[in-house]
Structure 1
Amino acid sequence: MSIRLILGAVDNLRGIAVRTPMLTSAALNEQLGRTVWVKAENQQLTGSFKLRGAYNALALMDAETRSRGVVGASSGNHAAALALAAHRLEVPVTVVVPENLPSVKRQAIEDLGARIVPYGRLAGRRDALVHEIADRGGLTIVPSANDEQVIAGAGTVGWEMLQEHPDLTALVVPVGGGGLAAGTALAASAHNPGPRVFGAEPATADDTHRSLQAGRRISIAPPRTIADGLGHTEPARIPFHINQRLLAGVVTVPEGAISEAMAHLWRLFRLVAEPSGAVAFAGLLHALGRLPDGPVGVVVSGGNVDWNTYKTQVDTAMTRWETPLHAAAVLH
């Protein structure tokens, strides 16, 4: 892959995806001793960055392929993005989602007219089910990460960040399948001087961290984490090879740090982040000493979260605090 694919995605998404804001907080900057810019992809259409990759992939399909329909699997955000992209381009779409998908995500998908097929998250048959549906109906699979055009669309997040703030010395992004990290790393690699790009993932779902250490893709048991969008058992093949070459490292964060990050994002920026969307901010606070000096960009990748889940996580985090910005969170 090259930067040309990302620049092509920038053109394809013009007028389709929202150019989301980058926010900063004087209180946070003073506490950390550096400037932090937060890319608010929770304000993207469908509530996450995923629209960028889904729409780019569908827009580049030929008309005959699109007319037969598409299918994709997701913990929720890719499914909603695929549903919206398909709706805009008048493409029949089926999405395979977990049985326990948060209701806010399921409702968004249903409202866009997608056909929903549930699966048991712990059964490990998601990919096989997707292939069965594709083979039976002649549908084209649109992966959430393992596709060059999906990665290129995700890479427009990093491209926008560096267009607005070319002095960023580091970018921190969440890692699930690895598409956003790979696209961001590709965008950064074309920038001179390029910032170092760090991934962040839950400590209980550390498949990418383990895989990078091993030098090959490692499969883990289905993880249990509040960051349901990052609960992968293995990094996707195409993003992994890019991340293996370009990522500066992956920070793993405990579950408590994720809920604290959600609370910080609300208190400092008035941003509602789902647990997966807050993981990169948790990574920033958890591994500040690993980042180079200078301004840092952090991606808040999504905000699709049930109210009860959100309130529980934020209330739990706030009961542990003694100061507005919990000191322990920034001194790891």
Structure 2
Amino acid sequence: MKIQTVEAIEVAAPADELSSPWSSTVVLIKVTTSTGAVGWGEAPTTLMTHPVRASVPEVARFYEGRELIDHGTGRREFERYSFYRYHSMEATSALSGVDIACHDLIGRELGTPISTLLGGRLRERVRAYSNGWYSDCIRPEEFAAKARAMVRSGFSALKFDPFGDQFRELSPQGLRAASERVAAVRRAVGPEVDLLIECHGRFLPSAALRAGLELDQYRPRFMEEPMIPEYNDSLVEFRQRVRTPVALGERLLTAAEFASYLRRGLVDILQPDITNSGGFSYGREIAGVAAAFGAPVAYHNAFGPVQTAATLQMDATLPTFFLQESFEASWPAWKK
């Protein structure tokens, strides 16, 4: 059975429906074999829909015509002939989508879940945290009301960005507003619910440090990407002075990068994304790094339903699984 075609299929929000630019488009990867069998993957766009879609045929040429069972050689050929290798997130997103689709095909042909192909399940259920629930919240009481609703729906962990339009610098007023929002959520949901603080990698080290020290009092379970990635060496000092653990990883694309961050003491909780870091094939290598360091893994999962389904297959096999990101409660109808 050979890989015959690799296609990118763009699915987007209806023109009359308001949608976040992060979630308004999904690029599905359809791999069809010589027997007509079809497998599906997903390539996240991360505000770069056109470059990701254009990368798919460039990656496809390493796979089309190969035996499905040998699809891993396509990845090796990509590594050999792609000059930028894993330094182009658009290319690695396309590569990941193809890899996921190939695993989907093999699982379908064998009649077995992908988790079995990855070594078997270590768990039947995973704990999820909700994200995206606060998108229209500004005032502390709005954050609190939405947080209570999410807890009532069954979530015991919530992630949110309390920093509004603050960028690079964090003004005294901006820090106070963020603190008031987190305080309101903590009061609303009580001490047993885990709060996860999203920073979106947008602060200078000094601003990130002030945010971490201020929000420590609310006992967040982690702070995600507290500073601009180019300054991540400063996370050593951040982790020395701030009690809240650091989570990151959605911008890291290789097992070597994750190993480097762990060796240098820059991170506590890893957040790889299997749809931009090589799919299941490379995902296993990153999971191996996490296991070797004893690092908890909480996969990044901010895009579409195929990504979610694939990520859950990885979750089931992880020795150091921690939490799973979930946007499903906030998805628009077209994405469901």
TM value normalised by structure 2:
0.29
Structure with the higher fraction of residues in helix conformation: 1
TM value normalised by structure 1:
0.29
Compare relative contact order (CA 8 Å, sep 6+) and give the higher one, 1 or 2: 1
